[in-house]
Structure 1
Amino acid sequence: MMTSALLVSLTLAQSAPASDAVLEYSAPMAEEGAPDPASFEFTAFTAGQTVYMGVDEANLRASAAADGSVVRTLMLGTPVKVLKAGARAKVGDYVNTWYQVSAVDAKGAAPVTGWVFGNTLTPFRFEADLDGDGELEVATVVMSNEFKARVRVLEPNVKPPRRVSSVDVAVASTVYGGGQGGPVTVKLVPAKEAGVTLLRLDSAPERCGDFVTSYVSYTGANGKPGVLGRAKLALELGGLMDPPNESTFKVSFQAAAKRALVVRTNVEEEEEGKPQTVTEREVYQWKDGVFAQAKNVAKP
């Protein structure tokens, strides 16, 4: 098992994802059965790029095949360097590309080379004290076979296989009303901003249609270190850009009170062709890892 100290040493400056990093996995809706594998779209990684293992106990294989011999198992969050892309393939319910990668051995020895399937890789890796227990957890985001964004949080000082908690969140489709899956960007929201540390996932296709912002929390056992907590969907907000109809929102936090303030703006076209704008204000209070909509909350 990789120690937390070694895990930190592997992270270095690569822990924070690039500001323009995007992860996508999508396919059109099929009238019958599963969509054609050729119709899938997904993020492609390039030679020389450093990405991360988005699953725990991932198999690094000697060949680009699901039954290839296992060279090494890699823990969630392990950085790997892409050497080259292999063939597009369907493995289980996933369609993606095989990649030859170089990974740092858990014992700090020379890098080891092997093949991993693209659905196990991610540009998103975060290291932070997510549950306030004084220890650093590792969080990654990959796409599930149900076209959702899957957030995984690992407790480095807990032994496998029960050291990871995960939660799936919705992703806005790139094909308005006719597709599944889409792009997602992720950033860390620090406790000083929100009162608790959160992961914010934004899914907003370039073309008109639905978009969604989700906040994911990770809460432990009353701050007790070395105990696996639980990842939760803390808050989910949806919007629409379908001119002339629009539904947008702006989120701000009251860190001391652990509240989320949401201002929604809805623009609808009236029969006379003139737009009507309605603004609403919502307050959400933090409790047990979730922001629940509050009633009769005094204004700050």
Structure 2
Amino acid sequence: MTPTPALLLCLALTQSEPPPASVLEYSGPMSEESGAVDREEIQFTAFAPGQLLYLGVDEANLRATAAADGARVQTLMLGTPVRVMAAGARATVGEYVNAWYQVSVVDAQAPQGTAPVTGWLFGNTLTPFRFEADLDGDGELEVATVVMSNEFKARVRVLEPNVKPPRRVSSVDVDVASTVYGGGRGGPVDVKLLPAKKAGVPLLQLDSAPERCGDFVTSYVSYTGTGGKKGVLGKARLALVLGGLKDPPNESTFKVSFQAAKKQVLVTRTSIEEEEGQPQKVTERKVYQWQDGEYAEVKKPASPDAVSEVKP
């Protein structure tokens, strides 16, 4: 896809700015020659001293120094809260480019006056997104986190605290919208928890969009158990993916309405395309029904007005 002049201006403005700390980002432009991402051009979200973060991977070793072979201070479990003390320089560890962070472990059960455990963690293991909720309806609280994978995707992990390792975490990867429209990998992601009261079932909503223009995507992740049995690892699933586009004058946007009692989702999509110098607006409505951890499209409209409209 060839970017329009209006979009090229958007890209130039967007790429000049660092990723905001309120979202997670791991992205980079692809080389036209090799088709791979240049490690020197990779962008990642930088965390600030004083920021509260969480361990977003199954387990990670807190190191005494900012090095992968540094002495192990303590092994931390997914969801462990830490406070950033200082940030190191840009570095490469394995397949990741990020920075080392000196952190202190937040332990609410530590005796008053006890000095917190401190050490170093690499940035790809850290996340601002941690959720604790009964995601599978078994009466127990699961812990969910989101980090960026080395494949430039958002990786959702769900931990069953009462299941013994190594089979206590289920994960699923979610595509994100590229900040380099048509020529990059990875991008930003923001995450929130939708309670069952709102959506019919608990869902993680992942929103990914460039700040100004290009592709954008909203994904919903579910976690289903085994008939309400406690102490059993369930499965994280990609329940529904909705993609859109802002490429002036062309545009495709959507509005999502949950019908919690029916466990349904109504998606109203509005598309604008220019034909012979005139914008054409198309509105389409689709209904999706919850089925075993995913949403399936209902072919028959839920109501008489659930039809497509074409407007000049």
Normalised by the size of structure 2, how large is the TM-score? 0.87
In the TM superposition, 1:1-300 aligns within 5 A as 21-30=22-31, 31-32=33-34, 34-104=36-106, 108=110, 110=114, 111-271=116-276, 273-299=277-303
Q: Aligned partners of 2:66 and 2:274: how far apart in 1?
A: 54
Once the two structures are TM-superposed, the CA of residue 297 in structure 1 deviates from its matched residue by 4.9
How many residues in Structure 1 have an aligned counterpart in Structure 2?
Answer: 280
Percent identity reads 77
8 Å CA contact 2:37, 2:185 repeated in 1: no
Match of 1:295, as an amino acid?
Answer: K
The separation in 2 between residues aligned to 1:26 and 1:239, in whole angstroms, is: 19
Provide the rounded CA distance (Å) in 1 between the counterparts of 2:238 and 2:26.
Answer: 20
State the 1:105 CA deviation: 5.5
Cα contact 1:174–1:207 (8 A) shared by 2 = no
**Aligned letter for 1:237?**
L
Gaps of 5+ in 1: 1-19
Q: What are the superposed Cα offsets for residues 210-269 of structure 1, whole Å, 9 maximum, x if unpaired?
A: 000000000011111211110000000000000111011111111111101101111010
Q: Secondary structure in 1 aligned to 2:261?
A: coil
Q: Distance in 2 between matches of 1:106 and 1:193?
A: 31
The 3-state SS of whatever aligns with 1:196 is: coil
- CA RMSD for the aligned pairs? 1.6
TM-score of the superposition, structure 1-length normalised?
0.90
Aligned to 2:7: none
> 1:34: Cα distance to partner?
4.2
Question: Residue 10 of structure 2 aligns with which residue?
Answer: none
Q: Residue 256 of structure 1: SS of its match in structure 2?
A: helix
Change (3 A) 1:59 1:106: farther
Conservation of the 8 A alpha-carbon contact between 2:30 and 2:38 = no
